Chain A
Amino acid sequence: AQSVTQLGSHVSVSEGALVLLRCNYSSSVPPYLFWYVQYPNQGLQLLLKYTTGATLVKGINGFEAEFKKSETSFHLTKPSAHMSDAAEYFCAVSGSGGSYIPTFGRGTSLIVHP
């Protein structure tokens, strides 16, 4: 079985501050991990993904995430928040039991203050 926990349903930062969105997973096999972003009134779009190889993954819009197997984590970071980063962010895991079907976390709403 696989599961995802996103710590914090809301995260609030000031423009220019570091963004850190937390994601912990459980999986019986080496996981495939994803971060998706949902802007207001839109569907989800892929931000970045980890499959194998380099544990630091770079995505779009300056975001990156680091796969830490020992901590079963895949936290999303961005050095400097922009107002346009305000959105809902979802972490997802797939691969357990040979399943293609991803399991999503409950999402974290990022609020950026001027």
Chain B
Amino acid sequence: EAQVTQNPRYLITVTGKKLTVTCSQNMNHEYMSWYRQDPGLGLRQIYYSMNVEVTDKGDVPEGYKVSRKEKRNFPLILESPSPNQTSLYFCASSSLTGNNSPLHFGNGTRLTVT
């Protein structure tokens, strides 16, 4: 089954404790992206990647890191999480066959930083 898999689904942590949210897709997609979703603000893009070893900042990259060492994986790293990073996070992927290629989303990771 074609899918984007995020782990974990729920995560509670404390300020300053490094964490990684994993994202993997099995559709051989070139494009992958991370979003955060907050009430009233919709989806905001954190980072994206057009292919292996190619990453770029989105609209809200501060406090986050990503890497794309393999085509299928695109982990999101919070080196020193802060309470303002409490949010719902989504990973998404797409083929780059044209501007009409839709995004495929994971089921989300709900992060709470205390």
Segment at the B interface, from A12-20, A69-77, A104-112: A104-112
A102 to B101, CA, bound (A): 10
CA distance A112 to B25 in the complex (A): 33
A34 near B102 with CB under 8 A, answer yes
A-B contact count (CB 8 A): 54
B35 nearest CB neighbor, chain A only = A104
Within 8 A of A (CB), among B74-108: 90, 92, 94, 96, 98-103, 105-108
CA distance A46 to B101 in the complex (A): 10
CB A107 to nearest CB in B, in angstroms, measures 5
Contact in complex: A107, B100 (CB < 8 Å): no
Taken together as a complex, chains A and B put the C-alpha atoms of A9 and B33 apart, in Å, by 25
- Give how many A residues have a beta carbon under 8 Å from the other chain's beta carbons: 24
Interface residues, chain A, with chain B CB atoms under 8 Å away:
9, 32, 34, 36, 41-46, 49, 51, 90, 94-95, 98-102, 104-107
- Between-chain CB contacts (< 8 Å), 30 pairs: A9-B40, A36-B103, A41-B108, A42-B107, A43-B92, A43-B105, A43-B106, A43-B108, A44-B90, A44-B92, A44-B103, A44-B105, A49-B102, A51-B100, A90-B42, A90-B43, A94-B99, A95-B99, A98-B99, A99-B99, A100-B94, A100-B99, A101-B33, A101-B45, A104-B43, A105-B42, A106-B40, A106-B41, A107-B42, A107-B43
